Amino acid sequence: MLTYDINNNKEKRLDLLGRLYFFSLPLTFITLPGGLLFSDLIGIILVVKMMFKNKYRVGLPLLIAFYFFLMGSLLGMIRSPDDLRSVKSIIQQTLVILVLYPVMKNYLNYCSNLKKVLNVYKNGVLILAFFIISFYLSGNTFGITNTVFASSRIAIGGTGPNVIARVLVIGALITLYFSQVGFKYRSSVIWYLQFFVISFGILATLSISGILLWVIGSIWLLYVYNSKKNIKNFSRLLVIGGAGLLVMIFLYMRVDFIQDEIEMVLQRVNSAVGVNSHSIMNNTRFILLRDFLDYLGDYWILGVGYSNSNYLVGTVIHFPLLAALVEIGLIGFFGILIMYFYPIYMIFKRKRIVRWDVTSVLSVLIILGDMIQPNPNYRFTWFAILLPVVIFTSKEKYKYKRKENENNIYIE
């Protein structure tokens, strides 16, 4: 199969501030006054350093997208019923484009740094999984873990279950990726253990969309990183999958909290996708879609204000592209559209041999998840969306070579 590396052996070392930034990015419970994350503070420090060294760069497509978004957001504030809510959401999206993206671009200009950054981010996700498992085993919340919606759905700090599920999905798929590209048996076992630990956290959120993304992403990555030509790889997957299934059955029969968790997931699936016409007609998401054209006629030029669509229907709109039209009008919608489709464009612009690597899979999955998430301006999930952009917009020259004796497509 094919792999690639970089002609220039020099690389930007992942220094202490860089490690701290990517490690703290998924730790959504470490917040500062005003709702900023601790990672935002580190990111701003890194941005200031880059400016002093004349290394601060924002890609032109995303910069154009941000200008459209900002223009639409400012126009939307003319009719906004909640200026403070709009300003906070605008700041969050600003941190995605003007802080997260330049910092990622600074550290990930070299593919050899990708594994380091993914591993550091994954370690932060493991902390979230630790708090969730500790809560189930000991009942200790550490003032961080809680349940919401009177249904035992896990939340972390002020971050809801669906968002936490997406962060955990990113971490779980990173561990699965490392388990496939590592060639040492002992290290692969450790990666698989971490994968199952984080995966339990996903189940604990009872997020149907999160669980679907986890299942689709796991199958996708296993397919990408296991060649059809080598039956040994698929035999290994069957053995691992069978062993994992037996362990889950054993735990389900013997461990009460796992049994309760699986039963709650099944109940939530049944209530979320039930075929009862009455429940479907009263689902707020279907009501929103049904009434959307009425709102579009009133707000397609001057929106109701970014993140303020809840004032129209009494709840948040779970479709961000539709929400953009009524919140920040056509101008802002164009900016949001570019932000989401530019990473997809960059994926298809890649060389075929690396088009669907781990960065592409993560990006597409989180974009799909965001399409049913209200105002998804979270830095910790946009990290996954922006990966294909920052990796393959580097000015470095890439050298592609064939390795006949390898069975995996991986990043060196």
pLDDT tens, 145-172? Answer: 877 654 567 888 878 888 999 999 999 9
For residues 120-124, give the mean pLDDT: 96
Is the pTM value of this prediction over 0.85?
no
User: What does the block give as tokens for 358?
Assistant: 């781990």
pLDDT at 17: 93
**Number of neighbouring beta carbons within 10 Å of residue 404:** 5
CA distance 68 to 296: 19
For residues 171-198, give the mean pLDDT: 85
**Number of neighbouring beta carbons within 10 Å of residue 272:** 12
CA distance 226 to 335: 38
Q: What is the pLDDT of residues 285-327, one digit of tens each?
A: 666 666 666 777 777 788 888 988 877 777 677 778 888 888 8
pLDDT at 254: 54
Greater model confidence, 54 or 152:
54
> Does the pLDDT of residue 242 top 80, yes or no?
no
Greater model confidence, 170 or 228:
170
Q: What is the pLDDT of residues 68-100, one digit of tens each?
A: 999 999 998 888 888 888 999 999 999 999 999
pLDDT at 232: 56
Please name which of 93, 45, 44 lies closest in space to residue 67, comparing C-alpha atoms.
93
DSSP letter for 31, please: B
When mean pLDDT is compared over 20-34, 107-121, 171-185, the highest value belongs to 20-34
> Does the pLDDT of residue 409 top 60, yes or no?
no
**Number of neighbouring beta carbons within 10 Å of residue 394:** 14
Greater model confidence, 13 or 60:
60
Per-residue pLDDT band at 26 (split at 50, 70, 90): very high
For residues 32-40, give the mean pLDDT: 86
Q: What is the pLDDT of residues 374-405, one digit of tens each?
A: 778 899 999 999 999 988 544 333 333 333 33
Mention every residue, 6+ apart, whose C-beta is less than 8 A from residue 308: 76, 80, 81, 82, 85, 86, 327
Please name which of 88, 147, 118 lies closest in space to residue 22, comparing C-alpha atoms.
118
What string of DSSP letters covers 232-285? Answer: HHHHHHHHHHHHHHHHHHHHHHH-HHHHHHHHHHHHHHHHHS---HHHHHT-HH
Range scoring the smallest mean pLDDT among 47-56, 90-99, 122-131, 315-324: 315-324
When mean pLDDT is compared over 64-73, 141-150, 278-287, the highest value belongs to 64-73
Contact between residue 363 and residue 150 where contact means Cβ atoms under 8 Å apart: no
Please name which of 200, 56, 219, 160 lies closest in space to residue 381, comparing C-alpha atoms.
160
